[in-house]
Amino acid sequence: MKKILTGIKPTGVHLGNWIGAIKPSLELMEKHKDSQGLFFLADYHALNSCFDPVHLKATVKEVAATWLALGLDTKKHIFYRQSDIPEITELSVILAPFTPKGLLNRAHAYKAFQDRNKADGKIDLDEGVNMGLYTYPLLMSADILAFNADLVPVGEDNAQHLEITRDIAGKFNRNYKAELFNLPELVVRKGAMLPGIDGRKMSASYNNHIPVFLPEKRLRKMIMKITTDSTPPGEPKDKDSNSLFSFYSHFANEELVKSMEKKYSEGISWGEVKQEIFEVLNEILKDKREIYEHYLASDEELNQIFKEGSQKAREVSVPIIEEIKKTIF
């Protein structure tokens, strides 16, 4: 049975995450029905930028409730918190001597931080860099190799980290002349890019995102903020040069999309388009919002899910780490 592993950093979930990451990850599991799915909340990774325990605990709950509401089935797949699996952190220590510093020097997240410092005119390019950020690829490698995952779906921005993982695993195997670790295969997520309220890619870093489970009134208000041009009502509109049509097409069915295309040619107003986006999206979210709010209000049930998930996860990770330690010590 192949193992497919996906990590989710608990930093909030917006509609772009749903379309670009959650939906394709769940679809991949449907495609590989005979595989074992491992979904984890990367709360140790979140520590690199979040030092408020109250906030971190809240976002862990929110992200977990979001995945459960959007269709993650914990009876079929293993769902756990990274911090509940001690084998991950233990393995990161074991892998550290096999991780060349040069690999981490070239990691995108670290280099991007240095580039921002340079652009800000800072003399010390490492100012503000903590070791959690610097060793992020090492911990990510441990996330994957602690379960000997076969397939790892990631966005293009994390593809380099998979290559680092393969490099570390290969070096470890060659040193001990044993195939102790799988060389995980990269599966680049083909999730679509959802435009944000300013027309750019939806991203929390751009502050142009729309959280998935906003209350109805707030959801409508956010959609009404989506940027449009000055084309007046009654004048035909170009669906290919406007983010509203793209946004609508991600949530509406084929029949509704064709109908909207006709309305564009007839000069529908931007306000009407936004109202239709809200109605289609709100209808999809209505039942899911109830599930989301149920989990948010039920700490006991959510904790039980995490407890069961960690038990199942450790049934996989413990034998792997025991075999590693037996080989190296």
Residue 13 lies in a domain: yes
- The verdict on 261 and 189 lying in the same domain is no
Tell me the sheet residues that pair with 41: 8, 81
Residue 205 has pLDDT above 90, yes or no: no
pTM over 0.85: yes
- The verdict on 169 and 39 lying in the same domain is yes
- The verdict on 175 and 283 lying in the same domain is no
- The verdict on 75 and 167 lying in the same domain is yes
Residue 234 lies in a domain: yes
DSSP 126-188: TTT--HHHHTHHHHHHHHHHTTT-SEEEE-GGGHHHHHHHHHHHHHHHHHHTS--S--PEEEE
What pLDDT, on a 0 to 100 scale, did the predictor assign at position 134?
96
User: What's the token pair of residue 202?
Assistant: 């939806």
Where does the pLDDT of residue 203 fall: very low under 50, low under 70, confident under 90, or very high at 90 and above?
confident
Where does the pLDDT of residue 242 fall: very low under 50, low under 70, confident under 90, or very high at 90 and above?
confident
What pLDDT, on a 0 to 100 scale, did the predictor assign at position 263?
96
Burial label for 231, CB within 10 Å (0-12, 13-18, 19+), is: middle
Residue 50 lies in a domain: yes
- The verdict on 81 and 182 lying in the same domain is yes
User: What's the token pair of residue 13?
Assistant: 């979930």
Residue 116 lies in a domain: yes
- The verdict on 304 and 274 lying in the same domain is no
Tell me the sheet residues that pair with 154: 188
Burial label for 18, CB within 10 Å (0-12, 13-18, 19+), is: buried
- The verdict on 312 and 288 lying in the same domain is no
Residue 206 lies in a domain: no
Where does the pLDDT of residue 182 fall: very low under 50, low under 70, confident under 90, or very high at 90 and above?
very high
Domain containing 70: what range? 3-194+299-328
pLDDT digits (tens, 9 = 90+) for 215-240: 999 999 999 999 998 889 999 999 88
Cα distances (angstroms) measured from residue 74 to each of 62, 193, 313: 16, 27, 12
Residue 208 lies in a domain: no
- The verdict on 275 and 316 lying in the same domain is no
Residue 95 lies in a domain: yes
* Structural domains of the chain, count: 2
CA dist., res. 148 & res. 2, Å (int) = 10
- The verdict on 123 and 245 lying in the same domain is no
Q: Count CB neighbours of 284 within 10 A.
A: 12
Cα distances (angstroms) measured from residue 229 to each of 197, 198, 299: 13, 11, 45
Q: Are 253 and 239 in contact (CB under 8 A)?
A: no
Tell me which residue of 73, 86, 2, 72 sits closest to 36, measured CA to CA.
2
> Strand (E) positions, 63-210?
78-81, 151-154, 185-188
- The verdict on 226 and 272 lying in the same domain is yes
What pLDDT, on a 0 to 100 scale, did the predictor assign at position 155?
73
CATH number assigned to the domain comprising residue 84: 3.40.50.620
- The verdict on 28 and 71 lying in the same domain is yes
CATH number assigned to the domain comprising residue 241: 1.10.240.10
Residue 116 has pLDDT above 70, yes or no: yes
Residue 311 has pLDDT above 90, yes or no: yes
- The verdict on 64 and 190 lying in the same domain is yes
Tell me which residue of 145, 189, 179, 139 sits closest to 26, measured CA to CA.
189
Q: What are phi and psi of 141, to 5 degrees?
A: -60, -40
Residue 25 lies in a domain: yes
Q: What are phi and psi of 236, to 5 degrees?
A: -55, 145
